[in-house]
Structure 1
Amino acid sequence: MCWDEPVQLNGELSVYQLTWGAYHKNLSHNLTSYTISGLQSNSQYNVTLQAITAGGVGPPEWEVVTTDKGVNVGGIVAGVLVGVLLLAVIVAAVVFRDKLKDKLNKGTSPTLPPRELPMTPRQPSVANSNVKKNKLQEYLEYLEGDTQHGLEMEFSHINIQSPSLPAFAAKKDFNKPKNRFANIHPFDHARVKLSPISGVTGSDYINATYILDIYDKPYFIASQGPKQSTMVDFWRMVLEQRVYTIVMLTNVMEKGREKCAHYWPRPSESFINVGSYIVHNHREERRELYSIRYLEVVAGDQKRVVKQYHFTSWPDFGALERVTDLLDFMADIRSTMLANGDHLLVHCSAGVGRTGTFIGLWNLMDESDRDRRAESINIRQTVLKMREHRPIMVQSAEQFLYLTKCIAAYIEAPHLWSKYQEDNNHIYDNGAFEDDNPIYANTEGQ
């Protein structure tokens, strides 16, 4: 693909942002062409390009591109993005100018961000993405109709409006080996920080992010599946962040590749040592699609039982066949999870696709429960709000469609999956393991 340079800019051009399907890439401001590799043959893609300066992000230029049938597209040129990126970032410039005026009026000096990063406030405009609850089936028909062209367009809007924010910590050389995937980085402003270990560079870093609930509290932690080399950090995070419930949405191995380290004892083991932590599996309950484990982690004088819900039937990048599969799983967690704890830890392999779909559905269900009389629901806004904290949450269009189907089913019959079901047969009272003076504290805060 190729393009012309913008003819009118608000400040010096710093980077181009290229989006196709569920993928993003920042390109050097010196480029006027780029070859997209790895596209599937006989497939349609929405390709979008935006110019970014210190003043903000310009309006998108986009084109629908269809790859040839039967052609080797390993290095295919996706097509030509037409036109000139006119009047780039004028709107963002006004917002930026007004903010500068406010700071000057207060007698303070504005601090500009690094030139290579978009500075924009970029609150996505989602006023037109509200869906009437009684029109959800029509909305689903729109998404799935015409060979899912509506779904492609809707997901393209989400990708265009998703922010690209600084992730300096994740990209430091000493932290790179801790990332399971080279392109999934927690944004700096929302990353979970471990208590630093004296003399150990980067000891506060883990690939995990706080995600807000509907009350704008950082209730969720979205994490990658721990690697063998980060299992100690994973359990350190569980204790420091007062996690009592873990939701695992991946298998340890998928398609012959490790997707997550086996951070709890195998059936043949009574316990495992993870650094200075001892992890026991006290009990395991098996369901058709998932397992529930009661894992006790011991660190010195501190003990804690953590309840792990492990869903084993969700394909990577994809969705489940039935909405009831996830809704039943969600209802079980919401009605039986341990009550204590500050955060709900959710992870798959990368911590964005299945993890984002799960947290998104949780928030949409809570939103529906909070006001059953509300006429509309905003699924796109829910996804964008998560993406302001961690990139690519709800990774694929297929997952967005599945999320929409799930919340539509819940709104139609909320009583089937209410989180207020009572479970009075809890064998484990986790309070017995609570330490009023835990030896771990996140000294750097959130």
Structure 2
Amino acid sequence: MDHSLQDHASYIGRPVSELPTPALILSKPVLERNTQILLEDVKQLGIEFRPHIKTLKCTEVTRMMLGDGLHRRIVASTLAEIRGSLDLVKEGKIDECLYGLPISASALPFLETLNKSLKIILMVDSEQQIDLLEAYAAKSSSPVVPWPVFIKIDVGSQRAGMTTHSPCLPRLIQRIESSSAATVYGFYCHAGHSYACRTEDAAAAVLQTEVEGVVEAAKVLVDGKNDRRIVVSVGSTPTAHVVKRLQGALPEGMELELHAGNYPANDLQQVATSLVEPTQQAVRILADVCSVYPDRNEALVNAGTIALSKETGEFPGFAVVVDRPQWSVVRMAQEHGILGWTESDQTSRLIEKTGSKSSDGEKVEAAFVVGDKVLLYIQHACITAAMHYAYYVVDEQDIVRETWVPWKGW
């Protein structure tokens, strides 16, 4: 059993310097500020909000993202996330959940069971998925109740979904409309390519393209049908940061919904967009310095691939030392990482924004000693968080005040 699952609560009240490593540190004040900013933006716009709970995967953060029940819809990427959210369903904080992957045969029986506890929305982007739903319904001994489905629209990320100009889209809509096993709930897109944005204007343009794309798709169903309500769901963390810049009203019969997931945590990839500040990163990894190598100006820490992930971005390496941003994890093996000296415009920005230590060409023996603990900013919070079995939740002084256990598995 992982050490953190055995006695994580025993560290409550202690500074992070006393934690076993590697450990995932969550700043609760930063989490609260990040979630509140988006809740306020959504409130001012008067639109619905559906947080994607895939990043930190725990009851406490999900409750925070929902505004403690102010919003009552979620997106989940795994069945484990939906099962974990059932405690919040019992609290009366969640009414419905979108299973965020195109529906698979293996997931359907579990989703059918979960649908008894909260409303489950499915994601589709192929007529073959409607065949699957109809075949499943034909084998069921229960009366057929159509599954509400979001149709996934590809607005440029080229992951799941189909483009609005694809000849397959109207055929899929017609197929669903004529099926007894599904009904169109809405149209959904995720602008994953917005992570490449580097200005508010660029992110706002991507967001506007998202909205226009799903609205164009939804017009097929609402034109001339005033009693029809279709949800158009847009968002990603970069575009969520500029949601207040949305322009124009939706056609009658459409309801706009924003979704986003990474924003409570943020990470180096988000900082690289220039849409968030370095101090808005709520996640850090604590590691021990295990060895120092003056001959090659490097050090070894006990945080490698399975503590950090191999995600990269515009910041050098796989993670950056919080108080010495010009030192980053430049190489990794499974259980350890190598700290090396790096320079880039992005690390210079970290130094400027955070007042971190900076010394051009610093020698490793001046920076680190065996036995030191270092805090690391990470490239992608979603993947790094999935590696850890307990979160150490700290206050402004980095004292552990709570420990949270995330939902694991698929």
TM-score above 0.5, yes or no: no
Structure with more contact order per residue of length (Cα contacts < 8 Å, sep ≥ 6):
2
Higher normalized helix content (fraction of residues): 2
